[in-house]
Amino acid sequence: QKEVEQNSGPLSVPEGAIASLNCTYSDRGSQSFFWYRQYSGKSPELIMFIYSNGDKEDGRFTAQLNKASQYVSLLIRDSQPSDSATYLCAVFTSGGSYIPTFGRGTSLIVHP
């Protein structure tokens, strides 16, 4: 069974710090990796995706992928209280139909 694992948290960081969110996946054939943010009572919204090994930066967000270790992370620099949300890692599995499989999410709390 294809699995995506995340630490449920909560991860608590002070405002202005770097928040580091981690995700591991079991299917070596996985091809692309997405980070979604979900505020309480709202629907998930895409932050960024990555499909090549290495880092990908978008504003305060950096996604890091290591396919050999089956590990993907999201760094949030200069964390703001508005970043407080649940962060969901999603993995597109291989095999014809690309169905995003989600992890359980990590709750992030940024305190002033």
Partner 1 sequence: DTAVSQTPKYLVTQMGNDKSIKCEQNLGHDTMYWYKQDSKKFLKIMFSYNNKELIINETVPNRFSPKSPDKAHLNLHINSLELGDSAVYFCASSPGTGANTEAFFGQGTRLTVV
Whole-number Cα distances in Å, 102 to 24, 37, 46: 11, 12, 12
Task: Give the count of residues interacting with partner 1 (CB under 8 A).
Answer: 25
Q: Residue 73: CB partners within 8 Å, gap ≥ 6?
A: 20, 21, 22, 23, 63, 64
Q: Is 66 in the site for partner 1 (CB under 8 A)?
A: no
8 binds partner 1 (CB under 8 A): yes
Contact between 56 and partner 1 by CB under 8 A: the answer reads: no
20 forms part of the interface with partner 1 (CB under 8 A): no
Does the footprint of partner 1 cover residue 100 (CB under 8 A)? yes
Question: Residues 35, 74, 84, 105: which binds partner 1 (CB under 8 A)?
Answer: 105
**Among 17, 27, 49, 56, contact with partner 1 (rule: CB under 8 A):** 49
- Give the SS3 label for residue 43: coil
Instruction: Give the nearest distance from C-beta 44 to partner 1 in angstroms.
Output: 5
31: helix, strand or coil: coil
DSSP string, 61-82: EEEEEETTTTEEEEEESS--GG
Which residues make up the interface to partner 1 (CB under 8 A)?
Answer: 8, 31-32, 34, 38, 42-46, 49, 51, 86, 88, 90, 92, 96-102, 104-105
